[in-house]
Structure 1
Amino acid sequence: MKRLTTFRSQFDFQSIRWKDMIRWFPGHMHKGMKDLEESLLRIDGIVELHDARIPHSGRNPELYKRLVGGHKPHVLILNKSDLADPNYLNKSIEYIQIEQPNTQVIHTNLMSIDLKELTNIFGRLLQQIVESPRYTRSSTLEYNIVVCGIPNVGKSTFINKLRNLFVNKRSCEQVGANPGVTRTMSEKVKISNRPKVFVRDTPGILEPRLKSANESFRLLLTNSIPIQQRELSDIIADYCLFLLNKYDKQRLYMKYCELDRPTDDILTVLTAIAKLKHCTQVYGNKRGYDLTGAALHFIHEISKGTFGQITFDQDILDEMEKEKSNDTNLFRTNTGRIKKSI
């Protein structure tokens, strides 16, 4: 689709006090990180879960540095890959392994994962653990794994799937559609008898201070942090529209909103949704469109993939690809100069 010159090239974060509007680092996160560090000597491997749509945003570098540090087997599962742009799945793996070359990265969708894929993930993790030095735990016959990552990314779902598969037990970890369901580090749960493997769930952990407005808003779009103020929903919805236009994803939102052309005006989109979904509210003695309700609906729809498969960190991965291409061209140029001088 031909891009319109009226589309914004940058989102205006300057006019909003996003740092005051997005503050979500509950006390259980700090305690969760502390408990994780204290349990390191009893852990043989770490499974980190993250959202495939944001392979960069929200990943806690302190989590990797303090828990993994290159010494513990580490598998990173990028969940909800069915909602991410398939053209960026391999790029996201490449991006992560530049910084963490020893990390195994796996894309999946835990809600529809099949027996073969789940067995493969467990096998790869177990192989890493068996082949790695166990130091003080070398005489222990059982293996302990900890599952960690950002909130609401599927950690408890992953544990329940493994438990159902390998020990034929019912789900034991509570799951929910909102972030913050798991609030404490769980007791050991057996997920395999041969070999004997135990796993512990942890509360979702974010950085105490999010690095940028882009990162914060992308965590909101993936429901990794909750929208705590309804008035923030209008701004987040506008950011949704900005990304859909930026990544050339206009067709599906035009169809959904019954628009005859793309738009950069969020009021046009929200009014269309309010009409179609009958979002109304009483203002004084009159009933009018509930644009805040329409904004929340729009955010929910983009989060569940109604407007197509989107990698929200696409711009970051594109920048990495550009830098890689520039480095390759520079190498070729320098190689050519050397050959000529010879």
Structure 2
Amino acid sequence: MAIQWYPGHMTSARKKAAETMEYIDVVIEVLDARVPEASHNPLIEEMRLFRQRPNLKILNKADLADPAVTQAWLNHFNKQPGVKAVALSCKKPGDANKIPALCKALAPHRDSPIKPLRMMIMGIPNVGKSTLMNALLNRRIAKVGDEPAVTKSQQRFELNPLMSITDTPGMMWPKIKYESDGYMLAASHAIGRNAVIDEDVALFLGSVLLENYPTLLNARYKIDVSNMDNVDLLEAIAKRRGFRLKGNEVDIEKTAMTLLVDYRSGALGRVSLETPESRLTMMANAEQIANEVAETQADEDKADIE
């Protein structure tokens, strides 16, 4: 199942962001540290490269992600030209306070009231942009919610006489290229529930957790997950928690939400769903499948002609 989610207001948000980028100096891109590349919007990269703007990548929710994997992502991003990457939790004011200095280092020529540093926060929905804005300004100016697409319009604020910052709505791109990206974004709650089937997302998440974090599953649900597949996992959690429907059938829907909420809240432990290496493997596999499909289609077309 391919997951796509692109609310109507995001078209206007994209157009407005492209216009505003002409007048800013540094693009602050907020990513989910658990899925840094899946939560990267290629449209943001396209716009900032067109305007030749440096990029501060914030791997937010780092307190929920696997620290070793997060470090691998920081190393990966910091090799890219014009990019500085940092991992933090926007819920910690001390972490958010590091951001202005990091932006200033990317645009050192913007350092006076005449030439103030102009920053712009961008990212997909529900990665913590509004929480970051509130922390930077030390007051609640941006609405924060646990559902995607809370912020609907741009807002500009003065941090001090030398710095201003523009908050933007969460912005998706029209078509998610890789199926696994859709599942990772849905699991991390960056995609609205109306676009997904929770059980399918939980099955995907279960597969990743069984492969990479079986000990966390053992500890959280007090079950032995060895030799289990994703279906076995959901059924075992349901039985352990007593999630039953009439007729004693396991309540898979409730179990799926339990697994998703435990991952999203950090109750499972510190989990990352992708690494730089797994990303390369996934892309190579997807390309191979696409080539095989194209070859099969070409053979069928040739046969039809003959």
**TM bracket, shorter-chain basis:** 0.7 to 0.9
Paired with 1:86 and 1:143, the residues of 2 have a C-alpha distance of 31
C-alpha distance 317-105 of structure 1, shift in aligned 2 (>3 A): farther
Partner of 2:83: 103
1:180 aligns with 2:149: yes
User: Equivalent residue of 1:39, what SS?
Assistant: helix
The question of whether the paired residues in 1 share the 8 Å contact of 2:262 and 2:268 is answered with yes
Residue ranges of structure 2 left out of the alignment (5+ in a row): 282-306
Q: Is the 8 A contact 1:151 1:205 kept in 2?
A: yes
Task: Compute the TM-score of the two structures, normalised by the length of structure 2.
Answer: 0.82
1:126 to 104, 129, 133: 104
Could you tell me which residue of structure 1 aligns to residue 167 of structure 2?
201
2-structure distance, mates of 1:317, 1:93:
15
State how far apart, in whole Å, the 1-side matches of 2:53 and 2:260 are.
38
Partner residue, 2:300: none
Give CA-to-partner distance per residue, 1:275-302, whole Å, 9 cap, x none: 44443445xxx56432111111111112
| Distance in 2 separating the partners of 1:221 and 1:261 | 20
Match of 1:60 in 2: 41
TM-aligned CA distance change 1:118 to 1:261, over 3 Å: closer
Distance 1:50 1:105 in 2: 10
Residue number among 81, 89, 92 corresponding to 1:112 in the alignment: 92
CA RMSD of aligned residues (A): 2.6
Q: Does 1:239 align with 2:204?
A: yes
Report if the CA contact (8 A) 1:58-1:207 is conserved.
Answer: no
What is the rounded CA distance, in whole Å, between the counterparts of 1:69 and 1:316 in structure 2? 28
Aligned amino acid, residue 158 of structure 2:
K
2:192 pairs with 226, 234, 239, which one? Answer: 226
Deviation per residue, 1:84-115 (Å, 9 max, x gap):
211122321232244x321111110112342x
How many pairs align? 282
Residue 150 of structure 1, CA deviation: 1.1
Deviations 1:43-87 (A, max 9, x none): 222111001111211312231122244722321111011122111
* C-alpha distance in structure 2 between counterparts of 1:226 and 1:131, whole Å: 40
The answer to whether the aligner puts 1:308 opposite 2:282 as a matched pair is no
Shift of 1:305: 2.5
Return the match for 2:124 from 150, 155, 165.
150
2:174 & 2:279 partners in 1: Cα distance? 27
Query: Could you state the TM-score of these two structures normalised by the residue count of structure 1?
Result: 0.74
Match for 1:228: what amino acid? N
Distance 1:102 1:126 in 2: 13
CA distance in 2, matches of 1:185, 1:78: 22
State which of 21, 28, 31 in structure 1 corresponds to 2:9. 28
Cα pair 2:210 2:230 within 8 Å, conserved? no
The one-letter code sitting in structure 2 at the alignment partner of 1:224 is A
Deviations 1:179-201 (A, max 9, x none): 11012222x22222x42x22221
Relative distance call for 1:307 and 1:62 in structure 2 (3 A) is same
- The share of aligned pairs that are identical, in percent, is 25
**Structure 1 residues 272 and 49 mapped into 2: Cα distance closer, same or farther (>3 Å)?**
same
2:258 is the counterpart of 1:292: no
Secondary structure class of the residue paired with 1:106: strand
Letter in 2 for 1:96: F
User: Within 1, Cα distance between the matches of 2:242 and 2:91?
Assistant: 31
The answer as to 2:133 corresponding to 1:159 is: yes
2:62 aligned to 55, 61, 81, which one? 81
Deviations 1:254-281 (A, max 9, x none): 2333323424333433334334444344
Instruction: Evaluate the alpha carbon distance shift between residue 211 and residue 319 of structure 1 in structure 2; reply closer, same or farther with a 3 A threshold.
Output: closer
Change in Cα spacing, 1:264 to 1:154, as seen in structure 2 (3 Å) is same
| In 1, Cα distance between equivalents of 2:276 and 2:57 | 21
8 Å CA contact 1:83, 1:309 repeated in 2: yes
Amino acid at match of 1:107: A
SS at match of 1:173: coil
